[in-house]
Amino acid sequence: MTTKQPEGAGTPSRPSLAGRLMPTIMRLRRSNKNHRSRDHVRRHIEYRRARPEPTRAPQRLKKGLSVSSVYDDGWHVHTITPSGTEPQGTVVHLHGGSWIDEAASAHWKLVQKIAAEAAVRVVLPAYPLVHTGGSAETVVPVVARLCERIDGPTALMGDSAGGTIALSASLLLAQRGHPVDLTLLISPALDMRMANPEIDEIQPVDPWLVKKGQLLLTELWIGEHGEDPILNPFLGDARGIGRLIVFSGTRDLLNPDTRLFVQRAMDEGADIEYHEQHGHLHVYPLLPTPEGREARRSIVMAIRHAVASDRR
């Protein structure tokens, strides 16, 4: 079992210049404008309901990749495949976006990098969002069913809200006796109750997420299932899901619950690896910083290793 303690090893390294500038950039961009309060969230939901985002794949992909898109279980599902080589396995990626927004350009860049450099097929489902009927109860079983139909080595990953779905689906698959080879989470939202008092201590230094807005989002997503150990994955048992890798930054509202979950999983003997970046923001592996690039390299290497291990 490979572990990196939630407390970090030794003195935390200072963020790079780009990493130190990122909070200011986020504030200038008003990145938290849709999450500042419950009313802000409601307005954003109404905006998205009136002006739905497209769920189609980008017109241009990285050289050496192709994409196919189908409707499966009523969802638009995209599959990115490396050309000229047999994929070594499959990665199912659940994108973030607070269960309101579709996949952003950063998500598409990440999945293309994974497909090209890990030589794997990447499946990116455009799952239903909260304003189109999506919820933990309806989405998680479909993701699990999608994974069960995949032949060969399989990794399940997600960032932010997508990390919630990925871990919930992984827990459900393990419960059914079909665990995936790797579950990889980037800044996941783990406890839908957001009751950890340390969250309030992080709030002043997080320029992106706001607890008031996040609470409404989690309520819309989880409904009456806040104590369900599958749908509220913080309560789940990570020991049965196989290898788990988690990335988190310390200037992220979701970091305190991530630390608690990881520490508990380590104490219980789960096969878990934890990467924590001091002074970095929510979903830092997707951001244009040296630390983000290093995290993306680590993600590719982890997926390569997972699919290779399964094939041996």
Nearby residues of 251 by Cβ (< 8 Å), 6 or more positions away: 23, 202, 205, 206, 207, 279, 280, 281, 282
Tally DSSP H helices, then E strands, for the chain.
Answer: 9, 8
pLDDT of residue 6: 47
44: its two tokens: 């954003």
pLDDT of residue 308: 82
Rounded to two decimals, the pTM is 0.95
pLDDT of residue 270: 95
pLDDT of residue 74: 85
DSSP state for residue 228 in the 8-state scheme:
-
Nearby residues of 117 by Cβ (< 8 Å), 6 or more positions away: 300, 304
- State how beta strands 272-281 and 243-251 pair: parallel
pLDDT of residue 89: 97
pLDDT of residue 309: 72
Query: Could you report the per-residue pLDDT of 239-275, keeping only the tens digit for each?
Result: 999 999 999 999 999 999 999 999 999 999 999 999 9
189: its two tokens: 């939202």
> Is there a contact between 305 and 245 (Cβ–Cβ < 8 Å)?
no
Radius of gyration of the chain (CA): 18
Instruction: Name the 3-class secondary structure at 99.
Output: coil
| Domains of the chain, residue spans | 17-311
pLDDT of residue 63: 92
pLDDT of residue 186: 99
CATH architecture of the domain formed by 17-311: 3-Layer(aba) Sandwich (3.40)
> Is there a contact between 290 and 16 (Cβ–Cβ < 8 Å)?
yes
In the chain, which stretches have pLDDT less than 50?
1-3, 6-10, 312
pLDDT of residue 4: 53
